[in-house]
Structures are given as C-alpha cells and as structure tokens.
Amino acid sequence: MKIAKNTVPSVTYTLVVDGEVVDMAENDKPLAFIHGIGMMVPGFEKNLEGLTAGSKYEFKLSPEEAYGEYNEDAVVDLPISTFMVDGKIKKDMLNIGQVVPMQDQNGNPMNGTILEVSDKSVKMDFNHMLAGKELNFTGEILEVRNATKEELDHGHIHGPGGHHHH
Ligand code: ZN
C-alpha cells in the first residue's frame, strides 16, 4: 500500500538541524500519523507521499515547507504581571531559555521561550523552535495501513504508536 491521504504510515526518522540530531524515532517506537490531514508539516507529508513499506527516504525541507521563517514580530515583551499567580510572581517559571506553555487571546495553546527577564517585563519568543531552519530527514517506512473511520472522525490514530487521550 502506498502512502496517500487517510493512510496511516509508521515510519522511523532522524531529524538533523544545523548538523545536530534534534529528534528521532527508531524501529521500536516509530512515528505513526494520519497522512494528509495536516498532522505533520506539509513538506514532510509531500515527500512521503507514494512510498511503501520498506522504502527508505532522505530529503531536506526549507523553512517554508516546514515551520516557516523566523518572525521578529513573534518576539514580545510581556508585563511581568502576566506571570503573577495569586498576587505573586512565579519566579520559578522565569528562567532564561525556559519554554513556558501559554495561551493566545483566543485560548489556543502556544509555547514561548523566555529570552530576558527584568523587574517589569519578560521578553518571550513565540516562534517555533525550528522556525527559520532547514530540516534534514532520513528514515524508513515500516508499515502503511488505512486509517479507520473512527480514527478519521477523531483526527488522531489509535493503537500502537498512537497518542490517545480520551
Ligand atoms: Zn480517539
């Protein structure tokens, strides 16, 4: 079976960025996802399209095909009061380089990395960690199956390799 929309590929991968391995999935814990519904960055899906079990792959993604260009506007100063809980600043949250789960105005989760902390404000970077980077992927297709109707309804996979929280 070929990888196409609404199939579930199980794949190994190694992701190299700036010459360093930043993420990988090996045979004992492959990545499995529903293809063609936007679970993965577009360039990743496009390059795997049509491959079958046993195929090895290797490709590069430009920032545009992956997490986008680095956006200066996504670096913002937040008033320190943003980090107040019960009238106190949560100092243990405010370490340079720390990634803090936050929400935008609409309540959508987003991660910010702390760049600077002053008495009045905290400078945070809401760019994706891999924004502006070229991604180098290598790996192998282990299995391809059709997604079940339930999986398509839920928008995530079930069973081994799936991340299922109901
Ligand atoms: Zn489910």
Report d(CA 166, CA 164) in Å as an integer: 6
- CATH entry, 72-125, from 2.40.10.330, 2.40.30.210, 1.10.10.350, 3.40.50.720: 2.40.10.330
- What is the whole-number distance in angstroms between the Cα of residue 115 and the centre of ligand 1? 37
23 close to 15: Cβ distance less than 8 angstroms = yes
Residue 162 — very low, low, confident or very high, per pLDDT cuts 50/70/90? Answer: low
What is the rounded average pLDDT of the residues 116-120?
93
Residue 139 — very low, low, confident or very high, per pLDDT cuts 50/70/90? Answer: very high
DSSP-derived letter for residue 165 is -
- What is the whole-number distance in angstroms between the Cα of residue 156 and the centre of ligand 1? 6
The pTM of the full predicted model, rounded to 2 decimals, is 0.78
Report d(CA 116, CA 127) in Å as an integer: 15
- What is the whole-number distance in angstroms between the Cα of residue 148 and the centre of ligand 1? 10
- What is the whole-number distance in angstroms between the Cα of residue 2 and the centre of ligand 1? 24
What is the rounded average pLDDT of the residues 21-32?
95
**Residues with beta carbon < 5 A to ion ligand 1?**
154
Fold of 7-67+131-162: Chitinase A; domain 3 (3.10.50)
